[in-house]
Amino acid sequence: MQIYLPIAEISINAFVLLGLGGAVGFLSGLFGVGGGFLMTPLLIFTGIPPAVAVGTEAVQIVATSMSGVMAHWRRNAVDLKMAGVLLAGGAAGSAAGVLVFRALRSEGQIDLFISLAYVLFLGVIGALMMTESVRAIRAARAGRTVAAKRPGTHGWIHGLPLKMRFRRSRLYISAIPPLLIGAVVGVLAAIMGVGGGFIMVPAMIYLLRMPTNVVVGTSLFQILFVTALAAIMHATLNQTVDVVLAMLLLAGGVIGAQFGVRVGHRLRGEQLRALLALLVLAVCARLAWGLVATPDDLFSVTIGAGA
């Protein structure tokens, strides 16, 4: 069933969009990520203009994150105080990112910038996560314990000022690292159309040393509000939110997130990280190929007769 998207200005099969929304919603609940790192490239692959894909995906992330947060809230797996600090940084980063997005779009460079940013961030994060996950899985199979710091041990972070106690996460650390992580994720949410979970989840586990059982729910809680702010600003300042497209993605995403949460609680932490790393690297490879491969339709500019 073909449906016309007024802002994207193209027609596309509605069932394809429903399927994409459901699949990405499932991943959101499973990994604790907004899903934008996968959905935005998929929308671009289907012909949606990158600027519209970024703005509209922010709306879809809001709904899938809300569904996931509700499921984790019922399991008491959300650190509200940590989420509040992350959100403070995320709100500032999101506002700055939307302004940068607007400036790049006015210069006609936003499409290239989005693709390059995805290749860079996904490649680095995916490689690091895969390396650590493989090491942990091998150690578990061999019956060895991976040398890692316990929750609450942070080395150089203990020397930073503005310390706060996060009782749910059993942490006593400076508020500066969570604020900076939130700000970076906010910028990414605005410019790349991602919730930022593919950066936030590893940062919360490896940098802040939060217990894994509260990382996913806390990440989704922060993503929910940061992407809501980004979506509002994109709609009002850049006019790149396609409501019809967003509603179709939402319909599948909310349901998919609930199933993802249930499956996620049945897998071990290192298995979840390895699966997420594989997805990140696969999307990175596809985007990188699109930047260097010869397009199907070639265009050239020449001076015509009489010019």
CA nearest to 35, candidates 193, 203, 242: 193
Q: Does 270 reside within a domain?
A: yes
* pLDDT tens readout for residues 197-206: 667 777 787 7
Q: Does 263 reside within a domain?
A: yes
Please name the amino acid found at residue 277: A
* pLDDT band (50, 70, 90) for residue 283: confident
Q: End-to-end distance of the chain based on CA atoms, in angstroms?
A: 45
CA nearest to 34, candidates 69, 68, 61: 61
Residues counted in the chain: 307
* pLDDT tens readout for residues 214-257: 887 888 887 788 778 878 888 888 788 888 888 888 777 777 77
Residue 78: its pLDDT value, please? 81
With 80 as the cut, is the pLDDT of residue 32 above it?
no
Residue 84: its pLDDT value, please? 85
Residue 195: its pLDDT value, please? 63
CA-CA distance, 217 to 208, in Å (whole number)?
A: 15
With 70 as the cut, is the pLDDT of residue 48 above it?
yes
CA nearest to 85, candidates 185, 153, 191: 185
Q: Total structural domains in the chain? A: 1
Q: Does 66 reside within a domain?
A: yes
Range of the domain at 7: 2-289
Q: Does 243 reside within a domain?
A: yes
Q: Does 295 reside within a domain?
A: no
Q: Which is higher by pLDDT, 250 or 30?
A: 250
Q: Does 227 reside within a domain?
A: yes
With 50 as the cut, is the pLDDT of residue 152 above it?
no
Please give the full DSSP string across 39-91, using - where no structure is assigned: HHHHHHHTT--HHHHHHHHHHHHHHHHHHHHHHHHHTT---HHHHHHHHHHHH
Kindly report the backbone phi and psi dihedral angles of residue 171, in degrees, each rounded to the nearest multiple of 5, phi listed first.
-125, 150
Q: Does 87 reside within a domain?
A: yes
Q: Output the pTM of the full model.
A: 0.62
* pLDDT tens readout for residues 91-141: 888 888 888 888 888 887 777 787 787 788 778 877 877 787 788 778 777
CA-CA distance, 229 to 185, in Å (whole number)?
A: 13
* Crossing angle (nearest 10°) for helices 36-45 and 50-74: 150
* pLDDT band (50, 70, 90) for residue 302: low
146-155, 175-184, 287-296: which range is least confident on average? 146-155
In this structure, what DSSP letter does residue 109 have?
Answer: -
Mean pLDDT of 54-73: 75
Q: Does 35 reside within a domain?
A: yes
